[in-house]
Amino acid sequence: MQAQTVYGALHGLQTLSQLCQFNFSSRVIEILMTPWIINDQPRFSFRGLLIDTSRHYQPLPIIKNVIDSMAYAKLNVLHWHIVDTQSFPLEIPSYPKLWDGAYSTSERYTMADAAEIVSYAQKRGINVLAELDVPGHALSWGKGYPSLWPSKDCQEPLDVSNEFTFKVIDGILSDFSKVFKYKFVHLGGDEVNTSCWTLTPHVSKWLKEHSMNESQAYQYFVLQAQKIALLHGYEIVNWEETFNNFGNKLSPKTVVHNWLGGGVAQRVVAAGLRCIVSNQDKWYLDHLDTTWEQFYMNEPLTNITKSEQQKLVIGGEVCMWGETVDASDIQQTIWPRAAAAAERLWTPYDKLAKEAKQVTGRLAHFRCLLNQRGIAAAPLAADTPLTQPGRSAPLEPGSCYLQ
């Protein structure tokens, strides 16, 4: 085997392992139809999976199990949506009261835990993209530091008028930089309802003093957070609303994360920025009615024909939002649908199946391989009154390969 990097060698060994099978008659591991000559490389450099530990806490062994499963499918970025409105489970040494926003004292991650996740992932060729979603989705921050809220009655988004808000963001990103060594950090920026800013007297006064309306304050906040991240050596990922509202003001080092729907990636790359595709109608794993066939047929480069613009789409990501998943069902909701997207992100376009039904056999085989490796991947379910494509159980006895 030859590879340009150790991670290329890991992917090659992964391919080799999937060619191996145990012969129960001769009791040896064998590779059929030899010799094999495989020249392989990924189509996209960013092949991601998001997990959400705010809506439900995921214990460390579960996160490691997810990382193992990602390696089997050659996904290489774990997007860790660590905190959100519901809970703040991560220790931040610079501001130790932030994790007062955890669901409980046992549903927390120390910085040592975070370092362990990063190290575990790195050994399997996976980067960890940490997300700090600001200024919305941040109510839990104020459990430890109430002054981050505009007021006790209006707790989100973070208080744009308070300099302490940006000191806390600086402290968090300083602590992040010691553990999360991936070149990107995700700063969120989505779904920001700014009404609290105008309804809260001291924030409204600050806006008037600075000649800002709500949308200008939203832009100010996002750009301030970007400046802080850049000072800590990060390049930035932001959800697409930032681009949709003030794309020409974003740092040139911004990667725009598309999620709302089609056509966005086309506009992002036309503006000269990089893009990650996660359109929710096809690549959101929490949408249990989205079939694996839809995951497979979702093409990140739709309507992007110029080669220099195609290169700005660095890849895609499937998103396992945590509202209805915890340790009991996360893997059966991720797999096998994430594997359908993983093939599209890895395989050259002209080698992809033109119809999803051509993939059924090998996806079923891969799902059984995941089961054999201790990953609780669900069957390839059809959308029937008894099942949901996104999280199904076997309907009757039978071989794994036929379910």
Helices (H), 232-300: 241-246, 264-270, 280-283, 292-297
**Which residues are annotated as catalytic?**
191
Instruction: Quote the pLDDT of residue 384.
Output: 60
Domains of the chain with CATH codes: 1-41 (no CATH), 43-352 (3.20.20.80), 354-403 (no CATH)
Residue 1: what pLDDT? 86
Distance (Å, whole) CA 179 – CA 116: 9
Phi and psi based region of residue 125 (left: phi greater than 0; alpha: psi -120 to 50; beta: remaining) = left
Q: Would you state the structure tokens that stand for residue 374, as one six-digit string?
A: 């201790």
User: Which among 398, 348, 344 is positioned nearest to 368, based on CA atoms?
Assistant: 398
Read off the pLDDT of residues 286-312 as tens digits, 9 standing for 90 and up. 999 999 999 999 999 999 999 999 999
Q: What is the model's pTM?
A: 0.97
pLDDT at residue 387, as a whole number: 65
Predicted local confidence at residue 383, as pLDDT: 57
Q: Which residues of 210-240 are buried (b: 16+ CB within 10 A; e: fewer)?
A: eebebeebbbbbbebbbebbbeeebbbbbbb
Tokens 């794994």, residue located: 400
CA pair distance 148, 159, nearest whole angstrom: 6
- Closest by Cα among 82, 91, 90, 96 to 54: 82
State CA 213 to chain mean position distance. 32
> Cα(364)–Cα(336) distance, rounded to whole angstroms?
8
pLDDT digits (tens), the chain, 403 positions: 899 999 999 999 999 999 999 999 999 999 999 999 999 999 999 999 999 999 999 999 999 999 999 999 999 999 999 999 999 999 999 999 999 999 999 999 999 999 999 999 999 999 999 999 999 999 999 999 999 999 999 999 999 999 999 999 999 999 999 999 999 999 999 999 999 999 999 999 999 999 999 999 999 999 999 999 999 999 999 999 999 999 999 999 999 999 998 899 999 999 999 999 999 999 999 999 999 999 999 999 999 999 999 999 999 999 999 999 999 999 999 999 999 999 999 999 999 999 999 999 999 999 999 999 999 999 997 656 556 788 888 888 999 998 8
pLDDT for res 393:
86
168 burial via Cβ count (<10 Å: 0-12, 13-18, 19+): buried
Strand-pair partners of 79: 50, 129
What pLDDT, in 10s, does the model give residues 106-125? 999 999 999 999 999 999 99
- Is 255 in contact with 275 (CB distance < 8 Å)? yes
Return d(Cα 257, Cα 275) in angstroms, integer: 6
pLDDT value of residue 391:
86
pLDDT tens-digit readout, 37-87: 999 999 999 999 999 999 999 999 999 999 999 999 999 999 999 999 999
Spatial CB neighbours of 27, under 8 Å, sequence gap ≥ 6:
none
pLDDT at residue number 381? 75
Specify the DSSP element, H or E, that contains 210. none
Rg of the chain, C-alpha, whole Å = 22
Strand segments (E) across 176-301: 184-186, 235-239, 254-258, 274-277
The closest alpha carbon to 95, from 188, 180, 177, 164, belongs to 164
